[in-house]
Amino acid sequence: MSKIFRAAMTVTIFSVITRAMGFLMKIVLSRNLEPSSLGEYQIAMSVFSVLLTLIASGLPLIVSRRVSFFANNNPQMVHKTSSAGLAISLSLSVAFCAVLFVFKDLLSGLFASEHIGAMVLALTPALIFSSIYSILRGTLWGQKKFFAISFAEFFEQLIRIVCLIVLFMLPDTHMTGGVKATFSLSVACIFSGVLVLVMYFKAGNRLMSPKGQLLSVLKQSSSITLARTASSIVTMLISFIIPLRLATFGFTQSQAMAEFGIVTGMALPLITIPGTFISSIAVALVPEISSQTTNIDKNGAKNLPALKTQISVALSAALIISFMLVPAFFALGTPIAEILFKNTRAGTYVSAGSFLMITMGITQITSSVLNAIGLEIKTLKNYAIGAVALLLGIYFLPAIIGAMSLVVSMLAMNLISGLLNLSMLKKRGLIGTNLPKTTLKLVLITAMTTAITFFSYGLLSKALSMFFAAAISGALSLAVFFLLSYALNIVTVRTFVSKKLIKKNK
């Protein structure tokens, strides 16, 4: 367990730094783009996300899983698997890019703004180099080269933010702000793709003929790709439906796009902060979990008690992380958004969306676990059920609550999918008996901490500036949360390596 803890800490440290840089980039974008342009940028990124998901979503996970399984006894299979994944992803990315350029006029006509089409075309280099990056990163992930994959992500974010700042500082060019933003991503992906290629060979890997592995890798990855593509398509549908439905109920096109930009470009990046830490846990634990089984229902597990412990650790950590920022974001959403984005509207969505962090965290970690134990199709079904609730919500609710419908609908989707995922793990005896009790304690702690945060900010804001009042109240919120967690005997991330926790979750 100590190796897992060190791996999680390595990934977490880099993830926090990388996420902080990414958040700085969001601030730069929000300060340099009008809300309507930010909305257009989000639409372009949703289209890019669908294409990237088709190319490199299921493949890296399957490559990682197979590499983890064969790492100790069949290095030749490791190289063939990596080469097969690379051949598939690179072929798909080149084909998609060719189609985009051949039909670029049609692409521009699909959107209400011609700027969106230009942004999508500016992302084509990112598509090609991401296809290389993702597969080789998957190999390094399966080999548990956590420092390498974490540094590659950090390096990509560093290049992107430097490039973005330089582009915005340049005198007037022919590129719009949105194109500058997407072009910076392409530049960053080129650099990170080259870096991970160097790391791949330096780790002793090589490319081999993928003959005999292409169909196997493609078949195994198809279900995960389907699941994640469905998620990306839903995200893209959101970017089209929300502005259209808002325009139907009294918003102008510009206002609708601006409101969408505020929710997705300002509020959601804050709400998804816990996902960074949860992702770190998944990155560290998934190779361990994958090494236990290729499919829990068909093949069982090599060591069921160890697998149950690993899953219980992941779920407990994800719960604590998901709850810890809720009090601060619910109580301080408006001042946080005003300080970061100079936009009070974003604060309304941050406060309302704070509870979304809980359901998103549960869905994120349970989906990763289910995929790791070979239940990708079942994960897809659970996601699809939740997605139906999301799509119904964003279609009907804008008439009642406007753009807040996106936050409410995402909450419903993740609640449904997360509960279904937990039910599947429980049926297989993979959840510790202590989890419901821990959840109830966290709900109580969150309620108490929220009340204290509200009171402290109300008091401090009378004597201090908004920044200092919010900063002190936020720090107090985290301190109270962890003190109460300690007082109520909730295990924190730092104690996950203890023997007490291992016994407790068996």
> What DSSP assignment string belongs to 206-223?
-----TTTHHHHHHHHHH
Residue-range definition of the domain harbouring residue 154? 1-238
- Per the domain annotation, does 489 fall within a domain? no
- Map tokens 């160097």 to a residue: 198
The answer to whether residue 146 is domain-embedded is yes
pLDDT for position 394: 92
Residue entry with tokens 């398509």: 233
* DSSP letter (8 states) at residue 430: -
Query: Is residue 53 included in any domain, yes or no?
Result: yes
Cβ atoms of 87 and 214 within 8 Å: the answer is: yes
> How far apart, in Å, are the Cα atoms of 407 and each of 188, 264, 385?
30, 10, 17
Model pTM? Answer: 0.71
Is 150 a domain residue?
A: yes
With tokens 């300002």, the residue in question is 266
Q: What does the pLDDT read at residue 109?
A: 64
Residue 18 lies in a domain: yes
Is residue 382 within 8 A of residue 421, CB to CB? The reply is yes
Classify residue 193 by its DSSP letter.
Answer: H
Backbone angles phi, psi at 115, to 5 degrees: -65, -35
Nearest to 199 by CA among 128, 146, 126, 130: 146
Q: How many domains would you assign to the chain?
A: 1
- How confident is the model at residue 240, as a pLDDT? 81
For the stretch 23-39, pLDDT in tens is 788 777 877 778 778 88
Indicate whether 5 belongs to any domain: yes
| DSSP-derived 3-state class of residue 34 | coil
pLDDT value, residue 503: 42
What's residue 112's pLDDT? 61
228 vs 118: CA distance, rounded Å: 25
> Is 444 contained in some domain?
no
String of b and e for 306-332 (b: at least 16 CB within 10 Å)? bbbbbbbbbbbbbbbbbbbbbbbbbbb
The predicted pLDDT at position 392 comes to 94
Query: Low-confidence residues of the chain, pLDDT below 70?
Result: 1-8, 71, 107-113, 172-173, 283-284, 287, 291, 294, 491-506
- With respect to residue 443, please indicate whether it lies within any of the assigned structural domains: no
